[in-house]
């Protein structure tokens, strides 16, 4: 297995033109279906959570500086924007507890992204929109694509298509025509995300010191150190 530093060097050497060609070959156009912003199962028409109990909340990684940018965009509190990534946490008597190593975008009571909203046209057609679109994190800017490098994430499960280093994940917009300019913009963001994910992973690894976690307490380790769920330093 390659070291994170080796993978970071590979990420920095990625060709944006080659990534763009791969994206054009696969094809993509956002249909505003909202599937990538919503929980699996989620709420019913009455706004209540799924009765099956199978709801899987929307989970999208967000970097510390992206959290601050989103806070500034809408004068949000930290917890309005982000929550501790649930992976690695356990359910204690007083709620989640333990250590985790990333932040995820905050979700609403249905498990959908807190910044997602739906509107209906006059004919009843429902489409989704991001209320912080211009400031959305890199993982959102680049969905449904990722690059096949160790230390980088695969959003929304395994790839359903692949072209060279570029992986495509489940999305109804795949296979549609995309312009060269749009593919180039998406490719540049995808390379930036790959580099940022590896830089973050290295910084977390180098700064990590096991925390003494009390019952009902959560500690998040990011590139800036150990933090409480409200983003304040531990």
Higher pLDDT, 50 or 215: 215
How large is the angle between the packed helices 180-207 and 16-26, nearest 10 degrees? 120
Domain residue spans of the chain:
4-227
Rounded distance, CA 83 to CA 105, Å?
6
Residue 141, strand partner residues: none
Rounded distance, CA 52 to CA 39, Å?
13
Give the mean pLDDT of 159-163: 95
The DSSP-derived string for 19-75 is HHHHHHHH-B------GGGS-BS-B-TTSPBPTTS--B----EE-HHHHHHHHHHHT
Name the one residue in this structure whose structure tokens are 């180098």: 206
Write the pLDDT tens digit of every residue in 102-157.
999 999 999 999 999 988 777 877 788 999 999 999 999 999 999 999 999 887 67
Q: Residue 205 region, left (φ>0) first, then alpha (ψ -120 to 50), else beta?
A: alpha
Write the pLDDT tens digit of every residue in 61-116.
999 999 999 999 988 999 999 999 999 899 988 889 999 999 999 999 999 999 99
Q: Is pLDDT above 80 for 48?
A: no
pTM of the predicted structure, to 2 decimals? 0.90
The mean pLDDT value of the chain amounts to 91
Q: Would you state the pLDDT for residue 164?
A: 95
């Amino acid at each position: 297995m390659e070291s994170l530093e080796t993978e970071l060097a590979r990420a920095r050497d990625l060709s944006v033109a080659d990534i763009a060609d791969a994206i054009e070959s696969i094809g993509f156009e956002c249909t505003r279906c909202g599937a990538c912003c919503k929980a699996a199962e989620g709420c019913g028409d009455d706004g209540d959570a799924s009765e099956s109990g199978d709801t899987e909340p929307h989970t999208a990684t967000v970097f510390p500086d992206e959290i601050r940018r989103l806070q500034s965009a809408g004068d949000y509190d930290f917890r309005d924007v982000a929550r501790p990534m649930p992976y690695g946490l356990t359910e204690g008597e007083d709620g989640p507890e333990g250590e985790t190593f990333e932040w995820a975008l905050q979700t609403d009571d249905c498990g959908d992204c807190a910044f997602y909203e739906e509107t209906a046209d006059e004919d009843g057609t429902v489409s989704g929109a991001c209320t912080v679109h211009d400031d959305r994190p890199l993982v959102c800017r680049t969905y449904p694509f990722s690059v096949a490098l160790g230390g980088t994430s695969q959003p929304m499960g395994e790839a359903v298509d692949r072209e060279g280093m570029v992986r495509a994940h489940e999305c109804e917009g795949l296979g549609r025509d995309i312009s060269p300019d749009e593919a180039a913009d998406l490719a540049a963001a995808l390379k930036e995300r790959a580099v940022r994910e590896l830089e973050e992973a290295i910084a977390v690894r180098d700064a990590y010191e096991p925390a003494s976690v009390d019952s009902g307490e959560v500690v998040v380790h990011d590139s800036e150190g150990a933090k409480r769920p409200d983003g304040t330093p531990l």
